[in-house]
Amino acid sequence: MINRDLGRTLRAVARLYPVVTVTGPRQSGKTTLCKAIFPRKPYVSLEALDVRDFAAVDPRGFLAEYRRGAVIDEVQNAPGLLSYLQVDVDENPVPGRFVLTGSQHLGLSAAVSQSLAGRTAILYLLPPGLNELERFPAAPSSLWDTLFAGAYPRIHDRRIPPVRWLSDYVSTYVQRDVRALLRVTELSTFATFLKLCAARTGQEVNLSALGSDAGITHDTARAWLSVLEASFICFRAPAWHVNVTSQAVKAPKLHFFDSGLACHLLGIRDPGQLAHHPLRGALFESWVASEIFKARAHRGLEPALYHYRDAKRLEVDLLVNAGEVALLVEAKSAQTIAPDFFGSLDKLSALLTAIGRASRAYVVYGGASGQRRAKAQVLPWHEIASVGWATPAEQAASRASGVRAPR
């Protein structure tokens, strides 16, 4: 096991709330992390049918077994338990008593928000960021090896070939989680939809076109994409605009959380194939977006990720809109710094200055060395975690709450 950046945040919020909820995709390491951070707490999983039945049928008796608290895994399997947990922690609000985990964000969030509002912090554990991956003994060292393998911990911890593990992951996900969340009967159609989404990573998403290509309706495409987001397979970065009367294009961009999974769905079977693939630029952009999302989520911050494109074709890949300073990011898979990397950043920075917003501009590219230019900082891909991706105000708030920046 490696140390996870979210561990610092988890310890900090456990000193503030009686319940902490950790959610995220399957196989991201939630159980391992919670056991490591709270080794003295009893651990119980609601995946086992007999334990699940105990929690559902006799919730008071179940909680009486854990008066001093526990790590309760897969808690979405017994949503009714949370109402009784609310009463329990109101009577005994000792910080950090219960740690809840679950993979199905859709069902878990609904139950938690209804029963434990104000009593729990909700944290998200995603597959490791690049700085966390480097803690594995056999971490990939090149850009294309890194994107091809993805970041699911088991691949790197047990040195399982990515093609093998991701194939099993997709099969398990389609057969289990999709049926549970959406009751999809035509799994082959959903599998096609999933591949079509991978082909659109790093691009603006049009639900009507996506549905048409998959042979489903616009409404079905919307529902299925929502399930992929609820299961932490992908996320949408909304379009950001200066004000409601602007002419900014409003279509969101679609990004996969894991580049390895996107590569697998696209039929890419080795890193060399990825290096020459026509979607390598889009895959790199999604990888950058995911790394920034992880850096913020693992510090307990809202992702606040957007993209920008206006009617005059001014485009910036990513914009972190979090407070007094907007972070602007261009992602370029090329290995050589070119003058055209900076034009859009300069124009959007000027536009923000005109409305009184400060900004910091970054270029993340596929090369090996960085540069500090007057208007933008250039980061080689392997130094993407060096920035932290939090605004000055967020950094100060993190320090005040006891959450240190990941190293």
Which strands, in side-by-side order, build the sheet including 98-102?
Answer: 43-45, 70-73, 98-102, 19-23, 120-124
Provide, for the chain, the percentages of residues in helix, strand and coil under a 3-state DSSP scheme, each rounded to the nearest 5. 45, 15, 35
Q: DSSP string of 349-403?
A: HHHHHHTT-EEEEEEEESSS--EE-SS-EEEEGGGGGGS-S--HHHHHHHHHHT-
Q: What is the pLDDT of residue 244?
A: 47
* pLDDT confidence of residue 316: 97
Per-residue pLDDT of the chain (407 residues; tens, 9 = 90+): 799 999 999 999 999 999 999 999 989 999 999 999 999 999 999 999 999 999 999 999 999 999 999 999 999 889 899 999 999 999 999 999 999 998 766 567 667 877 898 899 999 999 999 999 999 999 999 999 999 999 999 999 999 999 999 999 998 887 777 766 776 667 788 889 999 999 999 999 999 999 999 999 999 999 999 989 988 999 999 999 876 445 566 899 999 999 999 999 999 999 999 999 999 999 999 999 999 999 999 999 999 999 999 888 899 999 999 888 999 999 999 999 999 999 999 999 999 999 999 999 999 999 999 999 988 999 999 999 999 999 888 887 776 665 554 44
d(CA 1, CA 39): 14
Domain ranges of the chain: 6-124, 130-401
pTM over 0.75, yes/no: yes
Which H or E element spans position 107? Answer: helix 105-115
pLDDT of residue 407: 45
The tokens of 236 are what?
């949408």
Residue 286 confidence (pLDDT): 98
Give the pLDDT score at 404.
Answer: 54
Instruction: Output the pLDDT for position 12.
Output: 96
CATH 3.10.20.880 is held by the domain 6-124: no
**What is the C-alpha to C-alpha distance for residues 295 and 390, in angstroms, rounded to an integer?**
8
Question: Environment class of residue 245 by beta-carbon count within 10 Å: exposed (0-12), middle (13-18) or buried (19+)?
Answer: exposed
**pLDDT recorded at residue 401:** 62
